Structure 1
Amino acid sequence: MAKQWHAPLLLLTLCAFLLTACGSVGDTEVADADAALPALTLTDFAERQVSFPSVPQHIVALGNGEADIIIALGGTLVGKPTTSTPLKGTEEVMQIGTAHEVDLEKIAYLKADAVLGNTQMNAKDIPAIEGIGAKMVLTQANSVADITKQIRLFGQMLKKESEAQQLSADIEAEVKAATTNRTGEKPRVLLVYGAPGTYMVALPNSLGGNILELAGGDNIAADYPALQSYPQYATLNTERVMEANPQIILIMTHGNGEEVQKGFEQEMRQNAAWSSIDAVVHNRVRVLPADLFGTNPGTRVTEALQLLVSLFADLEAQ
């Protein structure tokens, strides 16, 4: 009789073994599949899906504003743009060129895993950046809203979403306070981007133009036709400037503000009509700080806004 129980017992044991083995294989497959998934995936400003296996630990920023935001969020910045307006707190960070001219050799040396570039200028550099093992994240800063969007995107990349939300909310609150406290008539403003021998006027779809309008200024070049190569700017049209008669002229530059101002004043002297403009008559030609207006100021954009609010308030008081 004992022998009759051997076969069923053997079958039960074998089934139990097979179920355990199948479960183990299934768990292993699931674990392997999970390990293969990227830790995070972003959608950048160019609507590209960019995936990282983990939070980037070697971040290179091709613009000051992007570098500023990474530092504010506690990220690891290993490369910063080469600029005449260095960012505070980045003295030990290597300069790696700019969005206009990327230094691939330095970026490769730094073992960058994330490179923060400009949507308009750096799309062409994606294959080269990926060729050295890094991922390009494209953004832009043509408005204060763009900057707060950058902050939230980089917060997602660093897994610091709550910090990014708070930082962007603080900026939005300061902008709201500045725009709701405006009184009086809007001053007529000519906002010029200058480099030695080259002068363009900023349009409302530029960061400077957006800050100007938020601060309560009337951009006299608002309806100028955009340049094809730089759609946030337009050609300086002397005749139209004369007609609009700006009360204040503001000059933005990446650096060498005094040289740019002297060159612009020389341009004005060559045309006697400039001498009758309100801004010239009352000596209201100002060079704006390069770290706030010559580049994306990142989290310091509210400082740029407050500076223009103060300038316009002083003009109204005169």
Structure 2
Amino acid sequence: MRRCQITALVMVLMMIAAGCGQTASKSAKETSEGSVHIQDFAGRDITFDKVPEKIVALSNGDMSIVYALGGEVVGRPSAELPSSLKKAEHAKQIGTTHQMDLEQITSLKPDVVLGNKQLNEKDISSIEGIGSKLVLTQANSVKDIQKQITLFGKMLNKPAQAKKLNNQIDQKIASLKGSSKGIRTLVVYGAPGTYMAALPNSLSGNLLELVGGKNIAADAPAIEQFPQYAQINTENVIRSDPDLILLMTHGNAEEVKKGFLNEMEQNPAWNDVKAVKEGRIEILPNDLFGTNPGAAVIDALDYLEKK
């Protein structure tokens, strides 16, 4: 009799254990089904337990993609907002890709921080240390921006919106084909005292190529620390005789233009360059060219197409 009781007890315990096992298995399955798996531009596999809701963006470009996909941010760059992103005014300012404010980011308790592969890879441990995930991307071409859109679409569970946005970019690029003007152009990235020529493997160089412009610095050797740019060789510029010189900057555009003109004045040979003689030295809009324009890349193409 006692043996039967023990056997019955064992069977009950086994049934309870099996039930718990099924519950645990079901719970694990539900968690897995609600999770989001992505791979960022640094090749890092990142998993979220659920679709991220509290988002911090370190650049306007990343932020513009989030809003274009129907999302919003709780933390934004400490920089002037372009008119297209005024809806993000309420978000807390958290520094930039160059110098983020970890204290402010920590106070927001974000699910994810969107950063730059080159500039923020060093910040992975700091962001993970506050319990958040850091997703790294970069934008050296329109294709990179489209990859960002696809990645953020997957992360935010907005694949249809991402596909629609990428289709719009593809349609814009397709409309540019066959309308090449072949304008010889020098694209200059400037900061006070520093001027570099944009190469075809830079975002601005790629944009110029897509609208049919001819980059006179295309064959110039890249700077080791900044492989998307080259030192400006005055002799080569004069020899190439560009029709147009475009200036882009992160800082005060007029100050950069003034400094660039002062540099040219020190070498009278610049006066023989067609763009200088005709006064075709123009400043590119900061929000479209001084940084990654994100979803506004179509506007950047529109702007260059009219040059």
For the aligned pair, the TM-score class normalised by the smaller chain equals: over 0.9
Residue number in structure 1 paired with 2:210? 214
Task: Tell me the secondary structure at the aligned position of residue 87 of structure 2.
Answer: coil
Q: 1:286 to 1:28 in 2, by over 3 A?
A: same
Query: TM-score of the superposition, structure 1-length normalised?
Result: 0.89
Distance 2:31 2:67 in 1: 30
* Deviations 1:214-273 (CA, angstroms, capped at 9, x unpaired): 010010111111111111111111111111111100000123211111111111111000
1:246 aligns with 2:242: yes
Looking at structure 2, the residues matched to 243 and 229 of structure 1 have their Cα atoms a distance apart, in angstroms, of 26
Give the deviation of 1:23 after TM superposition. 4.5
2:22 alignment partner AA: D
Residue number in structure 1 paired with 2:142: 144
For residues 177-213 of structure 1, the C-alpha deviation after alignment (integer angstroms, 9 at most, x for no partner) is: 12x2414x51110000011111111111111000000
2:164 & 2:115 partners in 1: Cα distance? 24
- Alignment partner of 1:196 is 2:215: no
Whether 1:30 aligns to 2:28 is no
Q: Structure 1 residue 290: deviation in Å?
A: 0.5
SS at the partner of 2:140? coil
Q: Residue 157 of structure 2: SS of its match in structure 1?
A: coil
Cα distance change of structure 1 residues 127 and 15 upon mapping to structure 2, 3 Å threshold: closer
Share of identical aligned residues, percent?
Answer: 52
The alignment covers a number of residue pairs equal to 303
Give the Cα separation in 2 of the matches to 1:126 and 1:21.
43
2:153 is paired with a residue of what secondary structure? helix
Amino acid of the structure 1 residue aligned with 2:29 = D
Gaps of 5+ in 2: none
For residues 142 and 119 of structure 1, the distance between their equivalents in structure 2, rounded to whole angstroms, comes to 11
Compute the displacement of 1:21 (Å): 4.0
Matched, 1:45 2:45: no
The corresponding residue for 2:166 is 168
| 1:79 correspondence with 2:75 | yes
Q: Where does the alignment leave 5 or more consecutive residues of structure 1 unmatched?
A: 1-5, 312-318
Secondary structure of the structure 2 residue equivalent to 1:77:
coil
- Read off the aligned partner of 2:299 and give its amino acid letter: E
What is the alpha-carbon distance in structure 2 between the residues aligned to residue 85 and residue 72 of structure 1?
Answer: 15
Residue-by-residue CA offset, 1:122-143 (whole Å, 9 max, x unaligned)? 1110001101111000000111
Q: CA deviation at 1:299?
A: 0.9
Larger of the two Rg values belongs to structure = 1
- Tell me if structure 2 keeps the 8 A contact 1:61–1:67: yes
- TM-score, normalised by the number of residues in structure 2: 0.92
Alignment of 1:157-306 (within 5 A): 157-178=155-176, 180-183=177-180, 185-306=181-302
Structure 1 counterpart of 2:303:
307
**2:188, 2:195 within 8 Å by CA — same for their partners in 1?**
yes
**Cα distance 1:222–1:85, how it changes in 2: closer, same or farther (>3 A)?**
farther
Do the aligned residues in 2 keep the contact of 1:73 with 1:163 (CA within 8 Å)?
A: yes
Deviation at 1:93, TM superposition (A): 1.3
State the alpha-carbon separation in 2 of the partners of residues 70 and 237 from structure 1. 39
Could you tell which deviates more after superposition, 96-105 or 28-37?
28-37
